Chains A and B, each alone.
Chain A
Amino acid sequence: MVWEEKMLDVEMKRKNMTTLADFREKVKERPILRNLFLELTMRCNERCIHCGSSCGEVECEEMPFETYKRVLDEVKEDMGTKGIMLCITGGEPLLRKDLFEIMGYAKSIGFNWGMTSNGTLITPETAHKLYEAGMATISVSVDGLEETHDAFRRTPGGYRKAMAALQNLVDVGKFRHVQATTVVTHQNIGELDRLFEIFDKMDIDSWRVINMEPIGRAKAYPELLLTREDYRRLFEFIRQKRMEGEPVCYGCSHYLGNEYEREVRDWYYFCTAGLYTASITASGDIIACLDIERRPEFVQGNVKRDRFSKVWYEKFGVFRRDLSDLNEECQKCKEKQFCHGDAFHSWDFDENRPQVCFKGTLFD
C-alpha cells in the first residue's frame, strides 16, 4: 500500500499546519505562558547516558522554599494561575525533601502541576504524598527492558523501581494522568514490542515514546542515535499502535512532514520554547526550555533579582523568532513554513543548523 493512501488527508493536515503557523506568528507577538518548568534540583541518583542537563555532574546551589514561595506569589499576582501548568523536573525532583512543601504551597494558591521522575523514590507512601501535594500528572522514565534500562541509566535495580513506581502511582487511583516515557536509541529500538506488552498490562494512561536527542551527555554516544531506518521503524510502530487505539504517542519535538504529522501524536509540531514555555533553573535563571543548551545569551534573567513576568514579557526575543532564518538551506526549504528550523533544543548554535531534520528521512 502506498503511504499516501494510508494516512490522514494531506490537504487537511497542511491546512491545519498553516493555521497553526499563523497562530504561532500571533503568539510571537503576544506570548502566552502555559508551561512553567521548575528545575528544582540538578542532583540525581541516576546517571542517564542521554541526560540533556548532565545532571548529577553539575553542582548547583538550590533555591530555598522561601524563594519559590515568593516567585510563585509574584507569578500569581502578575499572571494569575489559570492556564499555567507548573512542570516539575530536575535532576530527580524527589531528592528535594522540601518538594512537598514547595508544591503543596503552589497547589494551595491555585497552580496545577505535573512532574517527570525516574521513579526510584516513588514508594506507595510517596505516591500518596504526591497526590496530597496536588500533583495532577506524572511521567516516569523507563528506557528499555530491565537490563537495558539499568545499563542506560547506570542504576542497578532502577528498572524494577521505575516499574514499581508506575504501579504505586496507578494504585493511588486519583492522578489525572500517569505516563511512562521511553527514550528510544539504536540499541533499544528492538525492545519496543516487548515493552508495549508490559505496559499494556498496567493501568497507566499513556506511553510516550521519543528519540534520543543529540544533547547533553548523549553527545558522547553518537552510536546510540537513531539511524534513518530506525526513525521510520519508530514512527511506524507508534502509528500502528495508535491505529489499534493504544495510547502511545511521540513527544513534542521535531517536524515530521506530511506523512507522520498528526498521526503519531494528537497535535502538530509546535516548538513552544519562549512562546508558551518558560523555565526556571535550579539556580534561578530564567530560560525558555530546559533542554536548550545552557548558553549565557539564552539566560533572560534570574528570579533572585528579576520579576519573572517582567522578563517573560520584555525579554525572550531570542526565542521568538524562526531558526530557519539563520540557515541558508532552511530558508530554501518548502517546509520551513511549518518547521521554522525545527526545535530550539536540537539546533546547533555554533554551526547554525538543525542537528535533527527529517528531510530526506521522513519527507523530501
Chain B
Amino acid sequence: MKKTKKTMLTAALLAAAANLTACTLPWQNDDEVQTVYGPPSETAESFSETDSDSSSESSSEDKEESSSLAEQEDSYDPEDDDVQDVYGPPPFEDEEETEDSYDPEEDQELNQTVYGPPPEELDSYDPEEDGRLQQLVYGPPEMFGNGAADGE
C-alpha cells in the first residue's frame, strides 16, 4: 500500500504522542520524511489547502523543505505542535475568526466549496483539476480534506 505525506505525518503525530520519539522508525532514512512536519504553524491554514492541492502531485514533486524527523524529535512537544491543528478545525478557521462571525447567509454561491479557496480562485475552476472533489465513497467529510487527495 502507498505511504503518503499524510500517512507519514499521522504516524509521526501518533508516535510522538506515544512517546516513541526515541525509537528508530522505519522511514527515518527516507528523504520524503523531511516533509513530515510540513510548513510552520502560521501557514497551517494554507497547509490544509496545500495538502489537498498537492493531490495531483507525486511525493517526488513536493518542494517543501522541512527539518528532518531526527532534528525535530529532541524538542518535540505535542502540546506545542500546531501541526495538530491542521487536522483539527475546518480549514476556514483562523485565529481571528470565531464561530460568531460565521454567517451562512454570506455564503453566496450554492455551488461554492464553502470552506474552499477564495472566490477569485474559482473563476477558472476546472473540475478536471480539482483534486479535492474526487473523494472516496464513504470518505471523510469535506472540511477534513479528501480521502483521495493524500499527497498524490
Chain A interface residues (CB < 8 Å from chain B): 1, 5-9, 12, 15-16, 19-20, 22-23, 26, 29-30, 32, 34-35, 37, 78-85, 87-89, 110-112, 114-116, 136-139, 176-177, 179, 181, 199-200, 202-208, 239, 242-248, 251-252, 262-263, 265-268, 270, 272, 276
Contacts and interface: CB of A to CB of B under 8 A. Distances in A.
Contacts of A16: 87-89
A115 B140 contact: no
A89 B137 CA distance: 9
Contacts of B61: none
Given A19-B93, A111-B127, A245-B8, 15 more contacts: A15-B88, A23-B90, A35-B137, A79-B110, A79-B111, A83-B133, A88-B137, A112-B130, A112-B133, A114-B135, A138-B137, A177-B152, A179-B136, A203-B1, A208-B136
Residue of B19, B87, B88, B93 with highest tally of chain A CB at under 10 A? B88
Given A245-B27, A246-B3, A276 B141 contact: yes
24 contacts: A8-B14, A9-B79, A12-B84, A19-B93, A82-B130, A82-B133, A87-B138, A112-B133, A112-B134, A114-B135, A114-B136, A137-B135, A138-B137, A181-B138, A199-B1, A203-B2, A204-B2, A206-B150, A243-B15, A245-B3, A246-B3, A247-B4, A252-B141, A276-B142
Contacts of A203: 1-2
Contacts of B140: 252, 265-267
Interface string B7-29: 11011011101111000011100
B143 interface: yes
A239 B14 contact: yes
Residue of A5, A138, A206 with highest tally of chain B CB at under 10 A? A206
B143 A139 contact: no
A205 B134 contact: no
Contacts of A6: 17-19
A37 B113 CA distance: 19
A84 B109 CA distance: 14
A243 B18 contact: yes
A82 B17 contact: no
Interface residues of B, number: 63
B14 A242 contact: yes
B73 to A, nearest CB: 15
Contact of A244 (B26, B104, B137, B152): B26
A4 B107 CA distance: 40
B136 A7 contact: no
Closest 3 interchain pairs by CB? A80-B111, A177-B148, A267-B144
A142 B99 CA distance: 42
Contacts of B93: 19
A299 B8 CA distance: 42
A177 B147 contact: yes
A101 to B, nearest CB: 20
Contact of A26 (B26, B102, B109): B102
Contacts of A266: 6, 10, 87, 140, 144-145, 147
A116 B17 CA distance: 34
A242 B137 contact: no
Contact of B26 (A89, A202, A204, A245): A245
B104 A29 contact: yes
A121 to B, nearest CB: 17
Residue of A6, A115, A243 with highest tally of chain B CB at under 10 A? A243
A89 to B, nearest CB: 7
A252 B148 CA distance: 15
A266 B88 CA distance: 9
B148 A136 contact: yes
Contact of B19 (A5, A82, A179): A5
A252 B102 contact: no
Contact of B111 (A22, A81, A85, A176): A81
A87 B147 CA distance: 13
Given A83-B116, A85-B133, A9 B143 contact: no
Nearest to B105: A30
A228 B114 CA distance: 39
